[in-house]
Amino acid sequence: MLREAGLEVGPGRVGDAVTALDRIDLTSRDDVYWALRQTLVSRHTDFETFDRAFATWFERAPARPKGVAKQNGPQLALAPETTQGDEGAPDGERGEPGWNATEKLHGTDFAKLSPDELAQVRDAILELGAARPSRATHRLRPDRRGDVLDVRQLVRASLGTGGEPIVRPFRGRKRVQRRLVLLCDVSRSMEPYARALLLFAHAAVAAGRAEAFAFGTRLTRVTPDLVDRDADRAVSRAVGHVLDWGGGTRIGASLAQFNAEWGRRGVTRGAVVVIVSDGWEREDFDLVAREMARLARTAYALIWVNPLKGDPSYQPLAGGMRAALPHVDRFLSGQNLSDIEELARVLAGIERRHAA
């Protein structure tokens, strides 16, 4: 968020921030604020930008850190302001700075959203879908924060300074998008969540190097349907193309079909694969385990998104889910907009395989 706002936040600053957070009380918002501002901000002109980002990221915490002036600290205690449109509004419904309908629906289960409410969070989902995993290539390019000294440029620059290497140019690894593959369960139990996740897939396809598939009792590639610029039209086209939408679930058979048809084409080699399903397999649990193991051998990382995980009392007791979990790198919830934000953060920051 800070980078998108224009702040220079490189790996060194991120490392300092993590070190600082490791040495403070994370339950103290004041300590967290000062630790991050001291390590991530280098210019006083960026304080206001940092404060806005901090307040947004931590969802408007109830108090401003002690000793911070209004213009130099996170404006976390946002009192309601009466505007022309607010006069006469009932208590608790007046507009507040930074409040909008999308924020109100952040924690609402997708299954409980009305069509109008789903339309309200659509733009937020589409924006989050643009988050992409990346990888470092073997190609080097000029980078002042790189870790490889560019000897050729060093010698060339020293010719103008009498042979003294005053300027030390560095190079770093070029980063490119890593392929993203999304497989979305569209069975009856997943139908309330499938449309929201297809919006996410639409944005991912638009961002490039992404493939999207739907599965219930069979596998259907929906990437061509999601190319349409109009998100609603694209999702409707994908729904119409999927013949088993809202039907049964055959996770193992669908994964076997995917591995046989698309795995052999190298689609998953080095890719981040996201499977969205509640794990309710009706048939062969061993087949799910075998195909997940096969998929894990070629994919860079496997992420499983299960809307049921959003329930605090949830336990992965379904046979299909138990069979899949040993091969999953990250196990996330997909119940609401906040969970989609977490998925976007994981995708944007994923660097190496690690178990959840």
Residue 281 has pLDDT above 50, yes or no: yes
Share of residues in the chain with pLDDT > 70 (%): 81
Closest Cα to residue 98, out of 132, 75, 121? 75
Residue 254 has pLDDT above 90, yes or no: yes
Q: Tell me how crowded residue 266 is: count the other CB atoms within 10 A of its CB.
A: 11
Residues of the chain with CATH 3.40.50.410: 178-349
Residue 199 confidence (pLDDT): 92
Tell me the mean pLDDT in the region 249-276: 92
- CATH architecture of the domain with range 178-349: 3-Layer(aba) Sandwich (3.40)
Residue 46 has pLDDT above 50, yes or no: yes
Give the torsion through C-alpha atoms of 302, 306, 312, 313, to 10 deg.
-110
How does pLDDT run across 313-335, given as a tens digit for each residue? 888 888 889 999 999 999 999 99
Query: For the stretch 187-223, what's the b/e string if a residue is b when 16 or more beta carbons lie within 10 angstroms of its beta carbon?
Result: bebbbbbbbbbbbbbbbbbbeeebbbbbbbbebbbbb
Residue 175 confidence (pLDDT): 65
How does pLDDT run across 156-193, given as a tens digit for each residue? 777 777 777 777 777 776 667 788 999 999 998 898 89
CA distance linking residue 202 with residue 223, whole number of Å: 8
pTM above 0.75, yes or no: no
